[in-house]
Amino acid sequence: MSLSVHEQFLAHVERAERPVIILRHQATVDDFAAGFVIAQLLSKLQKPFDIVTSGGDIPKSLDFLKSPHKVRGDMPNIRKLTIKVDTTVAQIDELSYDKKDGELHIHLLPKTGAWEEKHVATSTDSYRYDLIIGIGAADYESFGTTFKRYGDFFFETPLINIDHSPDNEHFGSINVVDMNAVSSTEVCHDLLKRLDASFIDEEIATMILTGMIHKTRSFKSPNVSPKTLKTASNLIAQGARRDEIVQQLYKTRTVETLRLWGRALARLKSDKKHGLVSTMLTRQDFVHAGTDEGALETIIEELITSTPEAQIAAIFYEDTDHQIRVILHAERPHDAIYLGAPFNAMGTRALAALSIKETDIVKAEKKVMTHLRTKLSG
């Protein structure tokens, strides 16, 4: 008798010596909360692990979850390369190295004799991690620069794919994907419930409910089902701190974030014909507001909430290196990745990050918006 997906998940996790949880590029509150849920499970199973994501820090609105888990922007020391030299041929008298044109040159000077290429060999250790648990990624590319940098690792390592997107390509060794769920945290809830309901303590229940509330905009999205509401009710009964979640997600806005939202609102543009809204933020806007790019998730949420008639929402901004970036949100049936494809779009169908090869933010906005109007008209 074959194992269920949930049993396969547990078998892989129990067999792993060191898993890594990788969130999709530009991870959302739901992605982080789902990652924390899996991290709590791994802690209960006494597994060492790391959490990794590219392109975003933990939202400040999640500080109340008191997660002890650090989220890394990269995977450190993923694999060791060993260079072996046959010292029976010649003894090493001097070792030095230098870097040139992106290459590391290692120089060995023998005491006597000489080496040939056949006397030198290389080998690699096994990877630092032996299991990937992916959160919120529809495909490999959704992991962004983490996948681009470590492609071989992804292809050579078992991967558990946890997601709720209808666009998920089921690319994992095990696919814990539920298209009827409203969030990745709801998928995690169903997973833990089937494995062992006792795993869901007050803290995990709070993490799950946080992701569900944020993803559904307080259960106002059209995909909320009776099952979703029942799950939320059960989570509250299990100790999920609903009032604190709502307070932290929606009623706690720093003065700095409000200042930045004010600047975004002042430049808001609406194109009702194409269902587009957009705004821009310069590097000076961040400086004057006294905040950083971590506030952008709140800004895009406010933009979506404030313009429910819009199908596409875009925020243009200058990063710390004065590069032009865009956060592009798309409502169904539109696809943010497809619409932003000419601008190196990374993310999901609903939310993508774009990079613009343009130093002038006004010109960048014109270029991208013209492209979007052309696509939407076609």
- Report pLDDT for 88: 93
Q: Which residue, chain included where needed, has tokens 């006792």?
A: 198
Report d(CA 211, CA 247) in Å as an integer: 14
Provide φ and ψ at 298, rounded to 5°. Answer: -65, -40
Residue spans per domain, the chain = 5-75+128-248, 81-124, 255-377
Closest CA to 345 of 75, 55, 32: 55
Other residues' Cβ atoms within 10 Å of the Cβ of residue 6? 16
Q: Taking a C-beta distance cutoff of 8 angstroms, is the pair 280, 315 a contact? A: yes
Look up residue 229 and give its two tokens.
């509401």
Q: Taking a C-beta distance cutoff of 8 angstroms, is the pair 336, 347 a contact? A: yes
- Report pLDDT for 77: 87
Topology adopted by domain 5-75+128-248: inorganic pyrophosphatase (n-terminal core) (3.90.1640)
- Spatial CB neighbours of 370, under 8 Å, sequence gap ≥ 6: none
Q: Give me the DSSP letters along 289-338.
A: HT--GGGHHHHHHHHHHH-TT-SEEEEEEE-TT--EEEEEEE-TT--HHH
β-bridge pairing 19-23 and 50-52: parallel
For the segment 232-254, what is each residue's pLDDT rounded down to a tens digit? Answer: 999 999 999 999 999 988 876 77
Q: What value, to the nearest 5°, has the Cα angle with vertex 204 and ends 213 and 177?
A: 65
Q: What is the CATH number of domain 255-377?
A: 3.10.310.30
Closest CA to 19 of 44, 6, 2, 38: 38
- Spatial CB neighbours of 299, under 8 Å, sequence gap ≥ 6: 257, 260, 261, 264, 281, 315
- Report pLDDT for 350: 81
For the chain, which ranges sit under pLDDT 50?
Answer: none
- Report pLDDT for 1: 60
Amino acid letter, residue 155: F
Distance (Å) of CA 33 to CA 275, 302, 364: 31, 20, 33
Look up residue 353 and give its two tokens.
């990050």
- Report pLDDT for 86: 94
Report d(CA 241, CA 281) in Å as an integer: 35
β-bridge pairing 131-135 and 19-23: parallel
Give the global pTM: 0.81
